[in-house]
Structure 1
Amino acid sequence: MSTAYGDEPRYRSARFRDGQFHNATAPKQPGGWQLMKLWWQFMFKDSSRTEPPEALSVTPLTQDQLRRAADGTIYRLGHSTVLMKLNGKFWMTDPVFSERASPVQWAGPKRFTPTPIALEDLPPIAAVILSHDHFDHLDRDTVVKLAAKTDVFLAPLGVGDRLIGWGIGAERVRQLDWWQTVEVDGLQFTATPAQHFSGRSFFEKNPTLWVSWVIYTGNHRLFFSGDTGYFDGFAEIGRRHGPFDLTLLEAGAYDERWAGVHMLPEQVIQAHRDLGGDWLLPIHNATFDLAFHSWDEPMEKMLALSAQHGVRLTMPRIGEAVRLDRYQAAQPWWRLKQPRHADTSVTATSNAM
């Protein structure tokens, strides 16, 4: 791989040894024959429960709506793709606009719904914030197309090298190790630990780093988890950078067999508490079929657990605006056939099933 800095900064990371990156503590996750068995089961499973029976409703967005939106407005565009209007500019996490979260577009997990706005209709993006290199978080086609309207790409060590290899100028790529901070247009971004893994083929073993992100606007603190299992790093992040006005935590595509690298719903609640979070917005669900649980289980479980534990939960429909200055309690939009706000929403139609 090439590098944005010319001297392979990943090799200097305390997390990089023996030719690969490592977690602080090795997580429990399937490997070897167990992993192959899981892949086989996943390929031939009954998807009648893991995919919605009809297209989910989304709230459509236009560039004009986004430009007129109040500062501090957050939009979930699907899976872990979140568009944020902060300090007058737009910022985006883990953008995936392709139909499939896959190395090819003729096979692999297919979107349940279209994105609420086309990629070409997005406004200029101050920075794209990447958590790791898996296909449901780092989509080459999306990133390459976004390059024309994005100023800066923030990435973990090694992930930035991939971007440069795809033709993005090295001067626009910032690669960070855990606990490193960079400022972009008045916002502070700190790459914080996560417990996960990386690689885009069976032949790669953790060639790039995985991170979570702390975003500080000067007025608000946000936390974006990327993908991670539950670990004591959340408490450390909370001590160093919390409390947080909003936590964006992965809650979906989980299973007891890989709980070391993807949190179970009960662990999401605990992570939010460890971080000192005020609101919780679950992500990593309602977009792709990536596990064995029913497609709506993550939302139902988060709704029940938040009520049980007194956590302030918000779960907007895909494309629906959330304001940082106005708490919006979660509503079970996924149970409804018609959108909650008829004047601004449409029921999406899709050939995704």
Structure 2
Amino acid sequence: MLPGMGSAGDDTGFAGAPRDADGRFSNLDGKLDHGSAAVRMPFFLRRLGTYFRDGDGAAERVENDGAFLRENAQHSVPTVTWVGHATLLVQMEHLTFLTDPIWSDWPSPVPMIGPRRYVAPGIAMADLPAVDFVVISHNHYDHLDLPTLRALAARNDDTVFFVPLGNGDLLRKHGINQVRELDWGETVEFQGASIHCLPSQHWSKRSLTDDQRALWSSWAVTGQERRFYFAGDTGYFNGFADIGERLGPFDLAAVPIGAYAPREMMRASHMNPEEAVRAAEDLRAGATVGIHFGTFDLSDEPLREPAQRFRAAAANSVFGRDGAWLLNIGETREF
């Protein structure tokens, strides 16, 4: 057992992730539909052109030198900082943690091939406060970025990396040893807070033959003062309502709002902005923050569209204009 950590329990009421006869993980509703080959092949060809795009419509960035965050690590005013894409720095319960951290310019196994970063990370890694732990939602390259994880592990030997089942060996192979693997429904007590591994609707793959060999998940971090939910990368599914009923209400829910077009290909595994608002409502969130947009060009929708649609959908929901947040990259906000 890692220092400062209790053993895993299953008090959330969720069963472990299902597996098929070959041992590969599957979703609660079974196999996902990724669209026909006639949709997928032209999509992948279009992705090759992202290298030549100028990033018009990408998220705005503000300077953050980390001074407030380093000081706040001693006091733990609950805050969230958008570093970019699905990477958030969260401070609550006297803890500092990161979600799906990526500081690399290319979320790809081969640098210079694939989508490039249009907006620099909102804070330099050297300016971060000490990071107590990291949660990883799944093994796609824009969410499990090994260069970043290695740098975080080298920066602080005590940082713990929480991953869904089947992802631990990859990190350990690259010298990251403070790793804890969890299944859906498992909870770990960590320095006074509870870390919950929860269902999501997605998939995993890092090579030609490892489809679904590693699990994907969402995460909740709960404590005496605040309750935070991180959806990771997911399609809309009934599990959000179950999570909200069993662990909510949440003070803040981070939901992905980009990478949703073409819908025939993306619907099962990526929410559109309207679905993201609905998911946050299901989660019984007091406020929600949009992530997974405006940093990399991963799909067909224009870069500025997710934020526009998220804002419009939220205005007609329980969140109104004030309860659904679109942060600038580098912006810190209390919650």
Q: State TM-score, norm by structure 1.
A: 0.82
In the TM superposition, 1:15-54 aligns within 5 A as 15-17=18-20, 18-25=22-29, 26-30=31-35, 34-44=39-49, 51-52=55-56
Distance between the aligned counterparts of 1:39 and 1:75, measured in 2?
32
1:126 and 2:126 correspond: no
Question: Alpha carbons of 1:45 and 1:141: their partners in 2 closer, same or farther (altered >3 Å)?
Answer: closer
Distance between the aligned counterparts of 1:253 and 1:89, measured in 2?
30
Distance between the aligned counterparts of 1:279 and 1:198, measured in 2?
29
Equivalent residue for 1:319? Answer: 330
Distance between the aligned counterparts of 1:254 and 1:34, measured in 2?
13
The answer to whether the Cα contact below 8 Å between 1:51 and 1:294 also exists between their aligned partners in 2 is: no
Equivalent residue for 1:345? Answer: none
Distance between the aligned counterparts of 1:241 and 1:117, measured in 2?
31
SS in 2 for 1:108: coil
Count of matched residue pairs? 309
Question: Alpha carbons of 1:320 and 1:33: their partners in 2 closer, same or farther (altered >3 Å)?
Answer: same
Distance between the aligned counterparts of 1:45 and 1:241, measured in 2?
39
Letter in 2 for 1:238: G
Shift of 1:103: 1.2
Distance between the aligned counterparts of 1:208 and 1:14, measured in 2?
11
Letter in 2 for 1:30: G
Structure 2 counterpart of 1:219, from 225, 242, 262: 225
Deviations 1:130-158 (A, max 9, x none): 10000110101000111022521111001
Question: Alpha carbons of 1:286 and 1:198: their partners in 2 closer, same or farther (altered >3 Å)?
Answer: same
Identify unmatched segments of 5+ residues in structure 2: 1-14
The CA RMSD over aligned residues, in Å, is: 2.0
Deviations 1:149-193 (A, max 9, x none): 252111100112211111112xx2110100100111111111110
Equivalent residue for 1:65? Answer: 68
Distance between the aligned counterparts of 2:122 and 2:46, measured in 1?
32
Identify unmatched segments of 5+ residues in structure 1: 1-11, 325-353
Distance between the aligned counterparts of 2:126 and 2:170, measured in 1?
23
Distance between the aligned counterparts of 2:256 and 2:59, measured in 1?
20
Deviations 1:223-264 (A, max 9, x none): 100011011111111111111111100000112121100011
Shift of 1:217: 2.2
Distance between the aligned counterparts of 1:138 and 1:31, measured in 2?
27
Shift of 1:31: 5.8
Equivalent residue for 1:152? Answer: 160
1:193 and 2:202 correspond: no
Distance between the aligned counterparts of 1:63 and 1:56, measured in 2?
20
Most deviating of 15-24 and 228-237: 15-24
Question: Alpha carbons of 1:288 and 1:194: their partners in 2 closer, same or farther (altered >3 Å)?
Answer: same
Deviations 1:192-218 (A, max 9, x none): 100000011233211100000111022
Distance between the aligned counterparts of 1:174 and 1:280, measured in 2?
27
Question: Alpha carbons of 1:137 and 1:31: their partners in 2 closer, same or farther (altered >3 Å)?
Answer: farther
Equivalent residue for 1:271? Answer: 279
Letter in 2 for 1:52: D
Equivalent residue for 1:300? Answer: 308
SS in 2 for 1:21: coil
- Percent identity of equivalent pairs: 36
Equivalent residue for 1:285? Answer: 293
The answer to whether the Cα contact below 8 Å between 2:227 and 2:251 also exists between their aligned partners in 1 is: yes
Question: Alpha carbons of 1:36 and 1:204: their partners in 2 closer, same or farther (altered >3 Å)?
Answer: farther
The answer to whether the Cα contact below 8 Å between 2:17 and 2:184 also exists between their aligned partners in 1 is: no
Distance between the aligned counterparts of 1:87 and 1:291, measured in 2?
36
SS in 1 for 2:225: coil
Distance between the aligned counterparts of 1:280 and 1:155, measured in 2?
23
Equivalent residue for 2:109? Answer: 103
Letter in 2 for 1:22: S
Deviations 1:303-351 (A, max 9, x none): 1111122422111111111101xxxxxxxxxxxxxxxxxxxxxxxxxxx
